[in-house]
Amino acid sequence: MNNLVLEAHKLTVAIGGKLICREFDMTIRPGECWGVLGQNGAGKTTLLRTLAGLHKPQAGVVSLNDVELAAHARRNLAQHLGVLLQSESGEFWGSVQEYVLLGRFPHRASLFGYSVQDETLAQQALAQMELEGLAQRPYNTLSGGERQRAAIAQVLTQRAQCYLLDEPLQHLDLRHQAQTMQVFSRLKEQGCALMMVLHDTLWAQRCCDHVLLLFADGHALHGPAQALLTRVHLEALYQCPLRELSVEGERWFVAGV
């Protein structure tokens, strides 16, 4: 059963002297999908990292099921909370399969190696991301998009109940964007809670039931996606004129010049 609730209470986040949000409250419940939108540098990543317990807030608390994140054992947290980070420049010398298998680390029962079940789950995630053919390739020979898919497969392998995803669609081509969002939608239907940073308002409309608009001046707005994904709000958010098109009942927003 999944009844994981991720909650931010009076959260004030800052990084490098820049205020990202002040006394911010929100609750992500099972089966909800949140989209985070905002300009470059508005602090979407930092907010996500704070919710993941990777960045210390200036004030306020983030809690998982009413227990503060810091009070959870890191490993225990990792069993419930999957985090997709923007690509870190790092050296990983192993194969794609080994990389994806790392997602099982928090669930690992023995100190030596992974179980057959772990490997099955990794295999499933590789298949979901269409990476079966690349499983034995060294990770550092992958293209940007393939790396991104491998990173998503790794998070899926984690089998968490709550997912915090930082730009899951970056570097992905159109087909893989659609595929990835389908995978996430299925997770949502299964009762997982998701929060993802997006730059594409269309995907936010299609997949997210809630959105969080993070403004550059440190104030934030959140609510039902339908109500917030309007031209007025998005023009204020991105500070540029937008044109609104309607295609088959969907609202498209195109930056005007």
Partner 1 sequence: MPPRILFSLLLCTVPLSLGFGLMNGSLPLAPIEMWHALWGNNDDTATTVLWQLRLPRVLAAFVCGGLLALSGVLLQALLRNPLADPYILGISGGAAVGALAAMLLGAGLAATQLSSFTGASLAIVTVFGLGFRHGERNIYRLLLTGVVLSAGCGALISLLLTLAQGDEVKGMLFWLMGDLSHAQGLPFAWFVLMAVGLCATVFSGGLDVLAGGLDKAAALGVAVGRWQAGLYFAAAVLTVTALQLGGSIGFVGLMIPHAIRLIGISAHRWLIPLSALLGGSFLVLADTLARTLWSPLQFPVGVFTALLGVPVLLWLLSRRS
Binding of partner 1 by 113 (CB under 8 A): yes
Answer for which of 35, 38, 57, 106 binds partner 1 (CB under 8 A) is 106
Which among 72, 80, 76 has a CA at the least distance from the CA of 28? 80
Place of tokens 């009942």: 249
- Measured from the CB atom, is 45 or 205 closer to partner 1? 45
Residue 98 carries which side chain, given as an amino acid letter? E
Answer for which of 5, 105, 145, 230 binds partner 1 (CB under 8 A) is 105
Beta strands in 105-181 (DSSP E): 162-165
What is the rounded CA–CA span in Å between residue 71 and residue 65? 11
Query: Which of the ranges 8-16, 35-43, 67-75, 185-193 carries the binding residues for partner 1, by CB under 8 A?
Result: 67-75
Beta strands in 4-159 (DSSP E): 6-15, 18-28, 33-38, 59-64, 67-68, 81-84
Beta strands in 79-218 (DSSP E): 81-84, 162-165, 193-197, 210-214
What is the rounded CA–CA span in Å between residue 190 and residue 109? 25
Cβ of residue 111: shortest distance to partner 1, in angstroms?
5
Tokens of 170: 């970056």
Binding of partner 1 by 112 (CB under 8 A): yes
Cβ of residue 206: shortest distance to partner 1, in angstroms?
27
Contacts of 223 (CB under 8 A, 6+ apart): 210, 211
Binding of partner 1 by 16 (CB under 8 A): no
Residue 250: which H helix or E strand, with range? strand 250-255
2 pairs with which residues across the strands? none
Answer for which of 16, 17, 90, 133 binds partner 1 (CB under 8 A) is 90
Residue 135 carries which side chain, given as an amino acid letter? A
Cβ of residue 144: shortest distance to partner 1, in angstroms?
15
Cβ of residue 247: shortest distance to partner 1, in angstroms?
37
Binding of partner 1 by 93 (CB under 8 A): yes
Cβ of residue 89: shortest distance to partner 1, in angstroms?
9
Cβ of residue 83: shortest distance to partner 1, in angstroms?
4
SS3 31: coil
Going residue by residue from 146 to 185, which x/- string records binding to partner 1, judged by CB under 8 A? ------------x---------------------------
Query: Where on the chain is the footprint of partner 1 (CB under 8 A)?
Result: 49, 52, 54, 73-79, 81-83, 85, 88, 90-94, 98-99, 102-103, 105-106, 108, 111-113, 158
